[in-house]
Each structure stands twice: as C-alpha cells, then as structure tokens.
Amino acid sequence: MDMPAMFDLTGRVAVVTGGNGGIGRGIALGLAGAGASVAIFGRNEEKNRKVLAELEAIGARALALKVDVTDRAGLEPAMEKVERELGGVGILVNNAGIVVVSGGVLNEKAEDWDRVIETQLTAGFLLAKIAAGSMVRRKTGGKIINIASMMSYFGSGLVPSYSSAKGAIVQLTKSMAIELAPHNIQVNAIAPGWIETEMTAPVHAMPLHDEIILRTPAGRFGEPEEMAGTAVFLASHASDFVTGETVRVDGGFAIR
C-alpha cells in the first residue's frame, strides 16, 4: 500500500462525541479532510450546526446529532441513526468530557463525581461496546480512539474526578485492545497536553498558566487542530498494527 493510501479514510464512517467544539471539532475536521464521513454528537444544537456546516464545506458527508452521552438510553438509537444515514461506523472517537474544579476530594460533591465519571468514562465504555458490536457483526474491523489527558499520568488536587476518569481511560483502552484485537479492531488513546479550548480558557488567568508554559518545551498551549494528525493516523490503515497505546500530543509537557 502506498503512503497516501495508508492514511486515506475515503469510504469510512466516523463518530466523534463532543465534536462540536475544541479538540472534538479539530479531530472531526481532520477525519473529514482525510476523506471520512463524519457524525458529531453534541448537546448544543447551535454549535452542532456550525461544525456541520464546516464539515460539509470540506465536502464530507456529515451528520450532527443532539446527543447527551450521559443519556444511556439515547446512545444506541443515535448510533443506529448514523449507520442508517451514513453507513456502518468504522471509527469511534470518544472525546466528550466535562471537568468539575472542586479543589479536591474533601470538597467534591458525590453528584459531581458521578457526573464527571459518567461523561468521561462510562459513556466511552458504552459507545465502544455499541460500536465494536456492530464492527464484529459486520466483520469489518475498525478503530476506537479514546481521548485521555495529561491527568491520566499526573494527579491533581483540583480535579480528582477528572484525573480519575482520565487515568481509567488508559486502562480501559488497554483492556479493550486485548479483547478486540482478534476482530481486527484497534483501540488506542490520545493524551493531549494543554490545548486552547473553552475548558482550558480559565487557566490563562491563573498562576498555573505560567507554570504550564515553563514546563512545556514547545512554550505554548496547543491548538485543537494539532490533534487531527494523530487521530487520522490512529483511524487509518497506517496504524493497523498499533493497539493499546496512549499517544501523547503535549508539546513535550510530560518529558519534565
């Protein structure tokens, strides 16, 4: 297979949760640019429409669905709608996430813990279960990409639920990779560093911002679009012998 063909996603169908902004939007546009048909799941219909228009401007077949990934009953119908309208899903990107800055376990409310774990971890498990089940039935193989974090490696006294969920994502990725490899389904994760998104915007007004810049050899926050190349690699035939890995895209933050 020649090099361009290895990364070509033409004819593939991808679902990106939280695809209407930030890292999810960057990945969705990257997959579409590589030829994939892309469905985005998001709770905000206005943001969904904007990203749908961007996907269609690229020339991609695209779909935007109002989906709250914590609504367990709504996940399977949403995936079925994608398969009816775009075709069998061969790429799933579990990106949707929230953070609660509680200040630590002594302050965090149990309901906030539950909400973060449900959004970051449980929804990814359930969607992977649905997507992988379809891939196995169709005998097509496929790719599942989970979005981890620097907090998968480093603890945080400010966001214990977020850190716990992101750490668990790495182990879930490994576990699914072992189980699904015989079905030619590769499961990997991307661990972004500090990226310019709505979620990280408040950090710019905190002393933490300067600490991040000093620690990051690249000397800056990343852009959401800089996640796209790694996502395309992990979604393509170029990564067919890569599974169970977590790829850091962090400007060198984890080196120090």
**DSSP codes of every residue in 53-116:** HHHHHHT--EEEEE--TT-HHHHHHHHHHHHHHT-S--EEEE--------SSTTT--HHHHHHH
Catalytic residue among 162, 221, 233, 253: 162
**Pairing between β-strand 62-66 and β-strand 37-42 as defined by DSSP bridges:** parallel
Three-class SS state of 130: helix
Q: Catalytic site residue 162?
A: yes
Smallest Cα–Cα separation from 240: which of 173, 188, 168, 175?
188
Distance CA 132, CA 143 (A): 9
The residues assigned a catalytic role are 162
